[in-house]
Amino acid sequence: MRYTKAALLVFGLGLGLGFVAVVGEVAWLERPAAGAMALGLASLPLVLFADGRGVRLLAWIAAGFSGRRRRPLPARPPRKPAARRPAQRRPPVRPRRRKRG
């Protein structure tokens, strides 16, 4: 999660700079703040991929393109279906109307 932390830190830095720029009315600080926020948000999907299973996924894709093939898994015997219980009757949602008499 180190890359994710860095991306969120860049976004947070841009957010802080943006707050300072708006409150202090510092016009020259607005563009760098917006750039830092955009960089942090744009890099977030990439770093989440890199921190997570991205490397493993890329290795799996590369193994699929390699010349060696793995043996197929042995076939499993078919499973017996689970025993089903008879459906229980549910009480009505509201009581029946009484007949007028």
What CA dihedral angle connects 13, 17, 22 and 28, to 10 degrees? -140
For residue 63, the model assigns a pLDDT of 78
pLDDT (tens, 9 = 90+) of the chain, 101 residues, equals: 778 888 889 999 999 999 999 898 888 988 999 999 999 999 888 888 888 777 777 777 777 777 666 667 777 888 777 777 777 777 777 777 777 76
Considering only CA atoms, which of 10, 20, 101 is closest in space to residue 47?
A: 10
For residue 38, the model assigns a pLDDT of 92
Q: What letter represents residue 50's amino acid?
A: A
Q: What letter represents residue 57's amino acid?
A: L
Integer Cα distance of 3 and 45 in angstroms: 11
